[in-house]
Amino acid sequence: MISHKLSSYLSLTILILVFLAPLASSDILAKYCTDNGSNYTANSSYQSSLKLLSTTLSEKASSSPTHLFATDTAGTVPDTVYALTLCRGDTNASACAACVANAFKDAQQVCAYRKDVTIYYDPCYLRFSDQNFLTSIDNSNQYINANGENVTSPAAAFDAAVGLLLNAVVDYAVNSSSRFGTGVEDFDQSNPNIYALAQCTPDLSPNDCRACLDQILNARMKFFSGRQGGRILGLRCNYRFELYALFSSSPLLHLPVPAPGPAVTPSVDRGGKRIKSSTILSIALGIVSSALVAALVFIICIWSRRKRQVSLPYLSSMESTQSASLPVLDLSTLKVATENFAERNKLGEGGFGAVYKGTLHYGEQIAVKRLSQGSTQGIRELKNELVLVAKLHHKNLVRLVGVCLEEHERLLVYEYMPNRSLDTVIFDPEKSKELDWGKRFRIISGIARGLQYVHEDSQLKIIHRDLKASNVLLDFDLNPKISDFGLARLFEQDQTKDVTSRVVGTFGYMAPEYAMRGQYSIKSDVFSFGIMVLEIVTGRRNCGFYNSEHSVDLLALIWEHWTNGRTLEIVDPFLGSFSEDQVLTCVHVGLLCVQQSPVDRPTMSAINAILGTNTPSLQIPSKPAFCIEDISSDSETREDVSRATRKPAVVSANEVSFTELEPR
């Protein structure tokens, strides 16, 4: 009787605790007040920027119900504030907004006047800093918490069951667009259900998300072996498991209890009560055996994958210092994925060959770049991409999935970009209507971040040499990703420029010192970036824009309007509502990038600082390179030129092609 009452009280207590758990969701789980040697003061511009971000960031996160994630910047250099927030995937929009707003408030109290703060709650977390961490995928400032109670079931069986559940949930999160997964697993009578969730910030690629989660999963046994629950929260990814429902929505996965094995053992007498240990042991052994089988399969897959990594130390230009280690995909797999390279799956074709859309057996869409058999064109470019792209990991660079060098085929496999290349959108009279100013500014900023990464922030210092609108691809959310590193060149960290006798690239995007003298540097890419910015703002193509009868080109047209204070007259009419200051800043940045002298052009880090500032202080640009002076003022001529630039141009539909121009 007493035992029954005690059991009832315990059950009631657990129900009350579970009911009250959401009410305590505003409690701070952990805080990290980084001491970087500089604090801000009351009523300073830094504090004003924090106040602004507390509104804009919460609005951004809550306005994206499928992602509940946002990044933002505010303030001017050197008081720019960078911020990131993520809400748990099952949190509703209003709760997410409230949690983020509360995080800003708490952060300024518990870490008073610190410029770099990370704060965790159960429904959300926040970091703001005076350092630009937004392009990094570092999962720093981890919060690790283990449930103090041990499980009543055999620890080994329980740990194995948790491992199976977490791996399933991680797989779901990695392959979902929201990068969020939940699951429940049936276990035994003493612990009937195990619940788990896993999440990454949605801007991570599937590979980066998996790598992040795998890293913190490797620490599971160290911290949580035999424990009823545990969690690791990091800035980029997290997971948690418990014996109670830790998320409000229905689980996305349901794993049944593994089938028990045939083991039979005698019953055991404990305190006058006979317990059939055969039942417990059969369940435990069933789970353990299933776990061992899963582990064996996992080890075989990893061993096979490592065995099939292609090591390419012979590749040109960097044999002694660089080599690429890439996943190898079977030709048979790629033939199935592309329906044997069916014509209807062809995305485009260039001088090297064709690109095909495909779908791998587990659902990932890919773009397969297939070099023409018997053609020597593109071999150097293939080697370059194998070496360089395999070592570059950034959300604004196209991800290389793998390589196939089988049966005389030379295939590069990339992630598929459903919105194709930037030029197929901004120069199309119909599709360009879908790109309002907010989307265009996000594209400009994304390209700038990706370019800063390859120039300054990655382990390698790389010059792209063929940056153009057709080599910028757009994902499902119109986020830009730089592609085609076939013509790229690797620099030493202290190297500033180089000279080549083989000028390759695309006229209209080439810097003057490169086109005429073969000199290239990071400032060559900056010139190409400036051309793209001006194209995005105006919706007009620079390459091929020259009109011989009236001597008009895009740079001259923009320069004339800018010097006369009439810049807004030449912006794309499909921009919709836009910030005049922001548009004028982008045009100003574009003109700074296309100046004649490389020394006068800004670096990409300086450009990103300008784009992240509300009221930047900018120098006056000099006249653009390749600017043709004789511009007719005749309005009819100008209208004809405008119409000509809005016609659908013949563009390459191949999202990963390159153009190679060699002097005769």
368 CB neighbour count, 10 Å cutoff: 27
Residues 124 and 87: beta-carbon distance below 8 Å: yes
Nearest CA to 546 out of 591, 507, 596, 504 is that of 507
Closest CA to 540 of 563, 514, 499, 571: 571
Report how far residue 114's alpha carbon sits from residue 98's, in angstroms, rounded to the nearest whole number: 22
Cis peptide before 251 (omega within 30 of 0): no
38-70 burial, b at 16+ Cβ within 10 Å, e below that, comes to eebeeeebbbebbeebbeebbbbbbebeebbbb
CA atoms within a 13 Å half-sphere pointing along the CA-CB vector of 488: 29
End-to-end distance of the chain based on CA atoms, in angstroms? 99
Q: DSSP string covering 270-318, please? A: ETTEEE-HHHHHHHHHHHHHHHHHHHHHHHHHHHHHHHTEEE-TT-TT-
Contact 527, 467 (CB under 8 A): no
Longest Cα–Cα distance in the chain: 106
Q: Are 374 and 351 in contact (CB under 8 A)?
A: no
At residue 267, the 3 state secondary structure works out as coil
203 closest CA partner among 178, 181, 180, 182: 178
Helices (H), 518-634: 522-538, 554-563, 580-593, 604-611
What CA–CA distance (Å, rounded) separates 472 from 398? Answer: 9
Beta pairing class for 497-499 and 519-521: antiparallel
What's the burial of 614, exposed, middle or buried (CB within 10 Å: 0-12/13-18/19+)? middle
Structure tokens of 535?
Answer: 């194209």
d(CA 653, CA 349): 7
Element (H, E) at 371: strand 365-371
Residue 124's φ and ψ, nearest 5 degrees, are -160, 170
Strand 268-270 to strand 273-275: parallel, antiparallel, or no bridges (unpaired)? antiparallel
Give SS3 for 519.
strand
Please tell me whether the peptide bond between 192 and the residue prior to it is cis, using omega within 30 degrees of 0.
no
Name the strand (E) or helix (H) holding 366.
Answer: strand 365-371
Among residues 86, 87, 78, the alpha carbon closest in space to that of 129 is found at: 78
**Do 291 and 160 form a contact (C-beta atoms < 8 A)?**
yes
369 assigned to a ligand binding site: yes
Q: Measure the CA–CA gap between 159 and 196, rounded to whole angstroms.
A: 13
Catalytic residues: 466
The CA distances from residue 533 to 245, 333, 558, in Å, are 49, 39, 12
Q: Read off the tokens for 382.
A: 């293939």
- Known binding-site residues for ATP equal 369
- Known binding-site residues equal 369
